[in-house]
């Protein structure tokens, strides 16, 4: 066994991300790490590669226990991770990137560029790349950049290489090249951990698999003799939370109508991220939007919310009135609210209190003679803390100290305060523990009953089934499916998502 992780447990601010996970990586084998979003794959990989140093459990490398204090430690012991987001410096050359932090010096202590470039050429040859080592990384294609990351791993003679969604940004031909190189690495006896959502790929290149679900390792085994369906059932094999579907009115009232929505990217990019999307959202309806990463779901929300006004074509009607939304401020005025995907980056105001976060959208209503009224603010916040059961010591607590689920509730509260007609939820339960998830689902259901129209983007099928009345499927920027929930199955949605 090259690398063995034993009973790894990791908690973030009270939320258990990993719960006694075990994982074995063998030399000369590709081990697929499979799991839904939030199953704990990335957290596990970050522990193995020394990004997170604070965890319970042990890691054995060649049967010897190791503990890394830093990614550099892990690297020196021969473990290298290739992140989904590539860590290259665009304005440095290929060779400068590969040797970053490991520069070769000549006898005067100056950089020995020639030797580094010679070595780079050797490494590139191994990866079947014939590129000039002095080329700037920004001028390479994404697939080539990925290979440069692998070259970095080869330079330190890594024994264990972790690849996080390596094919998420590359196309068919580049994928084939990557797979050939992975086969070479296998033949050299490297142990490879391969994370991917794309099950077909795993059957092509993986030898063994480990399924993670809700932070636990569910099962490990050989890819031989297992079917896709069996893996899927292990991934999702949890009791589905569902809610009795309320009957929509006979003649539902159209709240939002989107016609031929398109988002046009600068000419340099090959295709538009969203093309010709049309749909209706009714009062009291929860519309689920399913699709793989990069299908254009988030982009569609950004277009509706006025985040990229110049590149958009098509028409948007709210209650029959055509609207031109040029900024989030316009969108809020029109009765839209957006709970964005990345809570930390786009959601919370970390240095402000729960109260200040919830009130931020309605400050003018909470003031008298231009001055904020603390009693009005407090009344609003207490109302939502109770209604949404936000767990906080007080309204004055900094929001960054709440758990993910409670942060999310506070963000939903800040939008409910604006009395929106339409609520856009982008991956509303990402990074939230299972109990808080259920509470958020209940809340979504309640809000719909109160007459809000809700659109929820999610890449978790159980979540789609838990709350949606209707499901739209996006694939590659196009609308490829529109199912009432009663006629949708996991298979039909997945099929539409990869078509």
Find out whether 44 and 21 touch, Cβ atoms under 8 Å.
yes
The answer to whether 349 contacts other proteins (rule: CB under 8 A) is yes
Residue 230 or residue 373: which is nearer to other proteins going by CB? 373
The answer to whether 60 contacts other proteins (rule: CB under 8 A) is no
Near other proteins by CB under 8 A: residue from 268, 351, 386, 450: 351
Near other proteins by CB under 8 A: residue from 352, 434, 485, 494: 352
Total residues at the site for other proteins (CB under 8 A)? Answer: 32
- Please, what is the minimum distance in Å from the beta carbon of residue 233 to other proteins? 38
Ranges within 406-435 binding other proteins (CB under 8 A): 414, 418
Near other proteins by CB under 8 A: residue from 363, 379, 391, 419: 363
Find out whether 83 and 164 touch, Cβ atoms under 8 Å.
yes
What spatial distance separates the first Cα and last Cα of the chain, rounded to whole Å?
39
Q: Please identify, among the stretches 100-108, 156-164, 262-270, 347-355, the one whose residues bind other proteins according to the rule CB under 8 A.
A: 347-355
The answer to whether 102 contacts other proteins (rule: CB under 8 A) is no
Residue 249 or residue 309: which is nearer to other proteins going by CB? 309
Q: Please identify, among the stretches 52-60, 124-132, 195-203, 355-363, the one whose residues bind other proteins according to the rule CB under 8 A.
A: 355-363
Near other proteins by CB under 8 A: residue from 14, 329, 391, 489: 329
DSSP 82-150: E-SS----TTSBHHHHHTTTS--B-TTSSB-HHHHHHHHHHHHHHTT----TTSBGGGS-HHHHHHHHH
The answer to whether 367 contacts other proteins (rule: CB under 8 A) is yes
Give CA–CA dist 186/191, Å, rounded.
7
Radius of gyration of the chain (CA): 25
Quote the tokens at residue 472.
Answer: 């739209």
The answer to whether 29 contacts other proteins (rule: CB under 8 A) is no
Strand 160-164 with 191-195, pairing: parallel
HSE, CB side, 13 Å, CA atoms: give it for residue 100.
18
Q: Please identify, among the stretches 27-35, 52-60, 205-213, 322-330, the one whose residues bind other proteins according to the rule CB under 8 A.
A: 322-330
> Is 324 exposed, middle or buried (CB count within 10 Å of its CB: 0-12, 13-18, 19+)?
exposed
The answer to whether 340 contacts other proteins (rule: CB under 8 A) is yes
- Please, what is the minimum distance in Å from the beta carbon of residue 16 to other proteins? 23
> Is 172 exposed, middle or buried (CB count within 10 Å of its CB: 0-12, 13-18, 19+)?
exposed
The answer to whether 370 contacts other proteins (rule: CB under 8 A) is yes
**Per-position b or e across 391-406, b if 16+ CB within 10 A of its CB:** ebeebeebbeebbbbb
**Contacts to other proteins by CB under 8 A:** 305, 307, 327-329, 331-333, 338, 340, 345-352, 356, 359-361, 363-364, 366-367, 370-372, 393, 414, 418
């Amino acid at each position: 066994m090259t690398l063995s992780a034993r009973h790894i447990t990791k908690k973030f601010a009270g939320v258990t991300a990993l719960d006694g996970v075990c994982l074995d990586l063998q030399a000369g084998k590709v081990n697929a790490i499979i799991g839904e979003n939030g199953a704990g794959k990335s957290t596990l990989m970050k522990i193995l590669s020394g990004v997170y140093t604070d965890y319970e459990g042990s890691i054995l490398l060649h049967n010897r226990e190791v503990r890394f204090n830093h990614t550099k430690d892990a690297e020196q012991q021969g473990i290298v991770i290739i992140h989904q987001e590539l860590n290259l410096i665009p304005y440095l050359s290929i060779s400068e990137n590969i040797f970053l932090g490991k520069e070769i010096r000549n006898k005067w202590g100056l950089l020995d560029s020639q030797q580094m470039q010679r070595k780079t050429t050797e490494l590139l040859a191994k990866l079947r790349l014939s590129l000039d080592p002095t080329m700037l990384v920004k001028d390479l294609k994404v697939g080539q950049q990925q290979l440069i990351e692998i070259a970095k791993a080869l330079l330190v003679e890594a024994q264990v290489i972790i690849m996080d969604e390596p094919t998420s940004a590359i196309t068919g031909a580049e994928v084939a090249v990557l797979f050939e190189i992975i086969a070479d690495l296998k033949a050299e006896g490297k142990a490879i951990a391969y994370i991917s959502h794309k099950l077909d790929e795993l059957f092509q290149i993986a030898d063994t698999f480990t399924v993670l679900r809700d932070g636990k390792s569910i099962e490990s085994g050989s890819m031989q003799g297992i079917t896709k369906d069996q893996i899927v059932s292990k991934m999702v094999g949890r009791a589905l939370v569902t809610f009795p579907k309320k009957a929509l009115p006979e003649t539902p009232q159209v709240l939002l109508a989107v016609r031929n929505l398109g988002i046009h990217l600068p000419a340099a990019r090959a295709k538009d991220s969203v093309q010709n999307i049309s749909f209706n959202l009714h009062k009291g309806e929860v519309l689920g939007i399913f699709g793989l990463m990069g299908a254009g779901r988030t982009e569609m929300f950004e277009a509706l919310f006025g985040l990229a006004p110049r590149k958009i074509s098509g028409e948007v009607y709210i209650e029959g009135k055509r609207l031109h939304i040029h900024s989030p401020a316009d969108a809020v005025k029109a009765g839209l609210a957006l709970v964005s995907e990345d809570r930390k980056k786009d959601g919370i105001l970390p240095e402000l209190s729960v109260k200040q976060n919830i009130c931020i959208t309605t400050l003018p209503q909470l003031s008298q003679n231009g001055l904020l009224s603390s009693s009005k603010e407090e009344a609003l916040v207490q109302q939502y803390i109770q209604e949404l059961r936000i767990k906080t010591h007080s309204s004055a607590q900094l929001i960054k100290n709440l758990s993910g689920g409670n942060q999310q509730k506070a963000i939903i509260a800040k939008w409910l305060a604006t009395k929106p007609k339409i609520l856009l939820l982008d991956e509303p339960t990402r990074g939230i523990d299972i109990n808080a998830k259920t509470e958020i689902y209940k809340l979504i259901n309640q809000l719909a009953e109160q007459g809000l129209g809700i659109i929820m983007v999610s890449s978790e099928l159980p979540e789609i089934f838990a709350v949606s009345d209707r499901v739209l499927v996006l694939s590659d920027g196009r609308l490829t499916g529109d199912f009432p929930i009663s006629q949708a199955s996991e298979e039909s949605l997945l099929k539409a998502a990869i078509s």
